[in-house]
Amino acid sequence: MRLTSACTAVYGIVLDAGSSHTSVFIYEWPAEKENNTGMVQQLHTCNVKGKGISSYYANPDGAGKSLHECMMEAKNKIPANRHSETPVYLGATAGMRLLKMENEAASEKVLASVEHSLKTYPFSYQGARIISGQEEGAFGWITVNYLSKNLNKPTGTLGALDLGGASTQITFVPQQEIESNDNSIDFRLYGNDYHLYTHSFLCYGKDQALKLSMGMKLESTRVADKTKPIELRDPCFHPGYNFTKTAQSVFNTPCINGVNLPTGIISHVGLGNWSQCQQSIRKVFNITYCAYSKCSFNGVFQPSVDGKFGAFSAFFFVMDFLNLTSDSLDGTKQRLAKYCSTPWKEIVEKYPQIKQKYLSEYCFSGTYILTLLEDGYSFTSDNWKDISFIKKIGDSDAGWTLGYMLNLTNMIPAEAQDTPLMPDGGYITFMLLFTLLILVLLLMVFIYFRRSTRQAQKDII
């Protein structure tokens, strides 16, 4: 959507360099209203072709080059006279966090490549960096609350649930004390103090969770004949699904280590059994230890979920594809069970336009989402309705990028502002009309006095 107001528009660009892909977001706002909640809007978004920047670890130059088409689109969308003042930020998330863990030099080369590329465009380059999981969670929360115009009102806030390919974030204002400093973030925005709980689970995005889960299923498999493919009988894939994959393609991740995994060819065979699938997914959440009064999983403190939540990114993509964005928890389980047991052949016939790689994973992904929300975060059938699966709020995508830009451009003041710092469009119009009215009145008074003076002169004559 383009702003129609006559006042000058200001622009900002944020690149979301995710584990699975990069998106370029262009934001626009009227110069005079920058301190109001909900004023910044998404003008345009462009999906970079190909995979995320971390996939260029062996060919770092390719990472920078991959951004070209979308950056040219940005050049065309933003008026040329605003280019030099438009800030560009790139934030990389879990894919680059994992690459940094695995090969720091390679991650630096990839960042240098995107930096070099972004500096070739006529915008104001402001940096390319790996953002922390805490930032990712907190800025996602700011985005959804800014867009819902919750921030300068006394109303409750919206919790934020973000599911990516390689990590997942949960952020909300809890009722109870935050027992761990790592999970606590404080903000003062528009004169209100916010005490947030946030956690980012690296390796628990949906692509890495699939690898974890497949790895666990194979861990116990004894390989008798190394020349034969190892059979992985998987309840999370449709009956009739049968593909061979290299072990390398599945287990090439620092999220899986120290386990005795096969190296050759895997024959991945679907069983289509939802309840067994859920059982297998539960194993990726370690709930055996907790040093706090309460934990989600893997020993991470989590207070009870409270209030309403917006669940975006892959939470939305998957639940929207499965048509499960507005069911009860029980209804969701039943429909998911039916979907998982549908033969692979039928699924392929029903969705010929969707890439089979993605199509094959929706049963796993839907079950993973359900298990993460119910067993991991402790949502129940009572508060399931408090989760809204969303892509956008108004015209802007829910995600961390908008919050990140608002923060870096100092667009959210800590204190509430009663009077506008700069007169806005309405104020100027009002003052013009008021001045005009005074002038007309003065003119009328002047004409009246002249007439009555002349009449008085005539009367004397």
Ligand X SMILES: Nc1ccn([C@@H]2O[C@H](COP(=O)(O)OP(=O)(O)OP(=O)(O)O)[C@@H](O)[C@H]2O)c(=O)n1
Q: For the CB of residue 8, give the shortest distance to ligand X in the complex, in Å.
A: 32
Q: Of these partners, Ca ion, ligand X, none, which one is at the site of residue 165 (CB under 5 to 8 Å by kind)?
A: ligand X
**Residue 207 vs 234, nearer CB to ligand X:** 207
Convert 234-268 to b/e letters by CB count within 10 Å (16 or more is b): bbbbbbbbeeeeebeebbebebbeeeebbeeebeb
Active site residue 136: yes
Task: Check: CB of residue 264 under 8 Å from CB of residue 221.
Answer: no
Look at residue 396 and give its three-state secondary structure.
Answer: strand
CA angle (389 as vertex; 305, 365 as ends), nearest 5: 90
Q: Of these partners, ligand X, Ca ion, none, which one is at the site of residue 358 (CB under 5 to 8 Å by kind)?
A: ligand X
Q: Which pair of tokens denotes residue 290?
A: 């907790």
Q: Give the rounded distance of the alpha carbon of 176 from its chain centre.
A: 26
* Ligand-binding site membership of 167 (annotated): yes
Q: Of these partners, Ca ion, ligand X, none, which one is at the site of residue 272 (CB under 5 to 8 Å by kind)?
A: none
Q: For the CB of residue 313, give the shortest distance to ligand X in the complex, in Å.
A: 3
Q: Of these partners, ligand X, Ca ion, none, which one is at the site of residue 95 (CB under 5 to 8 Å by kind)?
A: ligand X
Beta bridge partners of 188: 193
Beta bridge partners of 269: 233, 242
**Residue 207 vs 234, nearer CB to Ca ion:** 207
Task: Check: CB of residue 45 under 8 Å from CB of residue 21.
Answer: no
Indicate which single residue of 37, 55, 86, 167 sits in contact with ligand X (rule: CB under 6 A): 167
* Ligand-binding site membership of 166 (annotated): yes
**Residue 169 vs 367, nearer CB to Ca ion:** 169
Look at residue 78 and give its three-state secondary structure.
Answer: coil
**Residue 347 vs 411, nearer CB to ligand X:** 347
Instruction: Check binding of 317 to ligand X (CB under 6 A).
Output: yes
Closest by Cα among 257, 222, 301, 206 to 102: 257
Q: For the CB of residue 428, give the shortest distance to ligand X in the complex, in Å.
A: 42
Task: Check: CB of residue 447 under 8 Å from CB of residue 441.
Answer: no
CA angle (312 as vertex; 201, 206 as ends), nearest 5: 45
Burial label for 301, CB within 10 Å (0-12, 13-18, 19+), is buried
* Ligand-binding site membership of 398 (annotated): no
| 332 vs 329: CA distance, rounded Å | 5
**Residue 29 vs 309, nearer CB to ligand X:** 309
**Which among 85, 136, 346, 349 is annotated as catalytic?**
136
Q: List residues binding Ca ion (CB under 5 A).
A: 18, 164
Indicate which single residue of 21, 109, 211, 238 sits in contact with ligand X (rule: CB under 6 A): 21
Q: For the CB of residue 320, give the shortest distance to ligand X in the complex, in Å.
A: 8
Q: Of these partners, Ca ion, ligand X, none, which one is at the site of residue 296 (CB under 5 to 8 Å by kind)?
A: none
**Residue 69 vs 179, nearer CB to ligand X:** 69
Instruction: Check binding of 206 to ligand X (CB under 6 A).
Output: yes
Size of the site for ligand X (CB under 6 A): 20
**How many CA atoms does the CB half-sphere of 443 hold within 13 Å?**
6
Residue span binding ligand X (CB under 6 A) among the ranges 19-27, 75-83, 347-355, 440-448:
19-27
Task: Check: CB of residue 31 under 8 Å from CB of residue 7.
Answer: yes
Cα–Cα distances (Å) from 354 to 206, 347, 349, in that order, read: 18, 10, 10
Q: For the CB of residue 255, give the shortest distance to ligand X in the complex, in Å.
A: 11
Indicate which single residue of 52, 91, 262, 310 sits in contact with ligand X (rule: CB under 6 A): 52
Instruction: Check binding of 325 to ligand X (CB under 6 A).
Output: no
Output the DSSP codes for 93-130: -HHHHHHHHH-HHHHHHHHHHHHHHHTTSSSEEEEEEE
Residue span binding ligand X (CB under 6 A) among the ranges 12-20, 225-233, 256-264, 283-291:
12-20
CA angle (426 as vertex; 422, 429 as ends), nearest 5: 105
Instruction: Check binding of 107 to ligand X (CB under 6 A).
Output: no
Indicate which single residue of 64, 174, 205, 235 sits in contact with ligand X (rule: CB under 6 A): 205
Q: Give the rounded distance of the alpha carbon of 258 from its chain centre.
A: 31
| 21 vs 52: CA distance, rounded Å | 4
Q: Of these partners, Ca ion, ligand X, none, which one is at the site of residue 64 (CB under 5 to 8 Å by kind)?
A: none
* Ligand-binding site membership of 37 (annotated): no
Q: Of these partners, ligand X, Ca ion, none, which one is at the site of residue 351 (CB under 5 to 8 Å by kind)?
A: none
Strands 87-92 and 124-130: parallel
Site for ligand X in 295-314 (CB under 6 A): 313-314
Site for ligand X in 86-105 (CB under 6 A): 93-95
**Residue 56 vs 404, nearer CB to Ca ion:** 404
* Ligand-binding site membership of 169 (annotated): yes
Catalytic residues: 136
Which residues belong to the annotated binding site for ATP? Answer: 165-169
Contact footprint for ligand X (CB under 6 A): 18-21, 52, 93-95, 164-167, 205-207, 313-314, 317-318, 358
